[in-house]
Amino acid sequence: MKNNIQDTIVAISSGNVNQAISIIRLSGEDSIEIVKKVFSGKVGKDKTITYGNIIDNITGKIVDEVLVNWFIGNKNYTGENTVEINAHGGIVVTNKILNLLIANGARLANRGEFTRRAFLNGKISLDKAEAINSLIHAKTNKQAEIAISQFNSKDNLIIENLINELLTIISLIEINIDYSDYNDIKEMDANTLTSQLSKFNRKLDSIINKSENACDIYKGINVAIVGRPNTGKSSLLNSLIGSQKAIVTNIPGTTRDVVEGEFQINGFLFNLIDTAGIRQTKDLVESIGIERSKNAIKEAKIVIHMHEPFIKENEEDQIIKELSKGKVYIPVMNKQDLLNKDQYPKNMVLISSKKNSLWELKNALVKNYLNIDLDDPQIIFNNRKLSLLKQAKISINTALESLSQGLGPEVVILDINEAWGSLSEILNKKHDNEALLDNIFSKFCLGK
């Protein structure tokens, strides 16, 4: 049966684990009636708590002794009748109550469905819904702080200004096409349009670049640990995450697939990928692992290139350097304890992964993120918004390319309209002609 917004939904909102108190939440028009069928206590008024037992209404047996929170009406999170049952937190008891509520008319909620209803009922914006999800999944203090900062949709003002700027450009093009004989309107020829779109594009570039760097902090920074076989890649991953996750031996080619782990430095989350050593091999399985290593470099923001003492760089090292172009590249000399100070190589980070001497590497990892102002109003952390902003930029680039090939404003206006549509979608606004018409005719003199 297809799920319906009118269904009364239920779920364990505190997590399906053993704990002191568990919470079973219902939301929907029939929430109160369903609970009344299995609850021996009184139905409370809005925002009150009552005490009683949950009773199996088929066997008559008591399931648990509970407190029930009543949220009657629409002045609550989901904007509809909501009931929360606070039970003793054993998995067995909690699931018995859940199944009892389903048997009496509730439907098991889908992932995120309570927040979806809050959005559909106008209690929260889509931005806040996405921020709530990010806050729930935050793994560091910085990620939590960023998620909370998204509750007020402060980046909407930037998008609103971009939309208005593009709307003005579109309006002037339309007026020059349809009202070319009206002398008081600013002319919008190809050169003027190119100048204005180029300026607009630079603004998009600035916002996107700032946002991408900041989003690394928000999502976690991908780091690929690469190098020839037996340079200490797996030992480094184990040392950084504080766990023996990767197998370490003296046999080259031990790591045949990527191994992943996470660790934090000063609130920054790093997603580590230990890769198979890059070398020429006839071993089919190892070859697949090496290809995955190359893909890991492409996906990474930071590349740690491992070296060991007294071994000169070879063709494989050059391949790694080539693949690392455009990344934050950190060349690392492992096993520094085997070197005298006068043997330390220049322009390399020195570590000893087995002796856990990693402070210099940790400094290098965070260096590029320390000066990012996470409160900068021009930073957009939301992936959906940033993707749409990039779509707008693609459309503007297409328009500029067409202008450079000699096409006129009357042609490239289609691409500019696409960019306007992408920006409007960020704010969940309809891309219609009403705003455009308002803007066009506001340029006319009174009485025209």
pLDDT, tens digit, 9 for 90 and up, residues 314-358: 888 888 888 889 899 999 998 888 888 888 888 899 988 777 788
CATH of domain 9-109: 3.30.1360.120
Q: pLDDT confidence of 433, banded at 50, 70, 90?
A: low
25 is in an annotated binding site: yes
The one-character DSSP state at 246 is S
pLDDT of residue 181: 61
- Reported as a single tens digit per residue, the pLDDT across 69-107 is 999 999 999 999 999 999 998 899 999 999 999 999 999
Indicate the Cα dihedral angle 144, 149, 152, 157, nearest 10°: -140
Is the pLDDT reported for residue 262 higher than 50?
yes
- Whether residue 191 is predicted with pLDDT greater than 90 in this model: the reply is yes
Residue 250 assigned ligand-binding role: yes
Give which of 126, 130, 123, 129 is closest to 82, Cα–Cα: 123
- The answer on whether 116 is annotated among ligand-binding residues is no
Where does CATH 1.20.120.430 sit in the chain? 154-216+382-431
Does 231 carry a binding-site annotation?
A: yes
Locate all alpha helices (DSSP H) within 405-447, ordered by sequence.
Answer: 409-426, 433-441
Mean pLDDT on 219-230: 86
Contact 254, 247 (CB under 8 A): yes
Q: Which pLDDT band, with edges at 50, 70 and 90, does 227 fall under?
A: confident
On whether 168 is known to bind a ligand per the annotation, the reply is no
Task: Using the predicted structure, report yes or no on whether residue 374 has a pLDDT greater than 90.
Answer: no
Determine whether the annotation assigns residue 58 to a binding site: no
84 among the known binding-site residues? yes
Superfamily of domain 222-367: P-loop containing nucleotide triphosphate hydrolases (3.40.50.300)
Are the C-beta atoms of 259 and 234 separated by less than 8 Å?
Answer: yes
Query: Is 199 labeled as ligand-binding?
Result: no
Question: Does 123 belong to an annotated binding site?
Answer: yes
Residue with tokens 């402060």: 154
**Nearest 5°: phi and psi at 260?**
-115, 150
Both tokens of residue 334? 């492992």
- Distance between CA atoms of residues 402 and 415, nearest Å: 9
Q: Report residue 379's pLDDT band, with 50, 70 and 90 as the boundaries.
A: confident
Task: Return the pLDDT at 1.
Answer: 43
What would the mean pLDDT of 258-279 be, rounded to a whole number? Answer: 79
Q: How far is Cα 168 from Cα 296, in angstroms, rounded to an integer?
A: 44
Q: What is the average pLDDT score of the chain?
A: 84
State yes or no: 251 annotated in a binding site. Answer: yes
140 marked as binding residue: no
The answer to whether residue 253 scores a pLDDT higher than 80 is no
Distance, CA of 244 to CA of 189 (rounded, Å): 65
Percent residues over pLDDT 70 in the chain:
86
What is the residue type of 264? Answer: Q
Q: Is 252 annotated as a binding residue?
A: yes
DSSP 259-308: EEEEEEETTEEEEEEE-PPP-----HHHHHHHHHHHHHHHH-SEEEEEE-
Mean pLDDT is lowest, of 44-53, 159-168, 195-204, for 159-168
Amino acid type, 74:
N
**pLDDT tens readout for residues 291-318:** 777 888 888 899 999 888 888 888 888 8
Residue 427, CA distances (Å) to 154, 207, 395, 397 in order: 12, 16, 18, 22
Backbone angles phi, psi at 189, to 5 degrees: -90, 180
Write the DSSP assignment of 310-354 as a string of letters: T----HHHHHHHHHTTTSEEEEEE--GGGS-GGGPPTT-EE-BTT
Residue 38 sits at φ, ψ, to 5 deg, of -125, 0
For residue 1, count CB atoms less than 10 angstroms from its CB and return exposed for 0-12, middle for 13-18, buried for 19 or more. Answer: exposed
Q: Does 398 show up as a binding residue in the annotation? A: no
- Domain boundaries for CATH 3.40.50.300 within the chain: 222-367
* CATH 3.30.1360.120, the chain: domain bounds: 9-109
User: Is 383 labelled as part of a ligand binding site?
Assistant: no
CATH architecture of 154-216+382-431: Up-down Bundle (1.20)
Which residues are 84's β-sheet partners?
A: 25, 69
What are 48-66's pLDDT values in tens digits?
999 999 999 999 999 999 9
Q: Is 94 assigned to a binding site?
A: no
| pTM across the whole model | 0.66
Other CB atoms within 10 Å distance of the CB of residue 400: 18
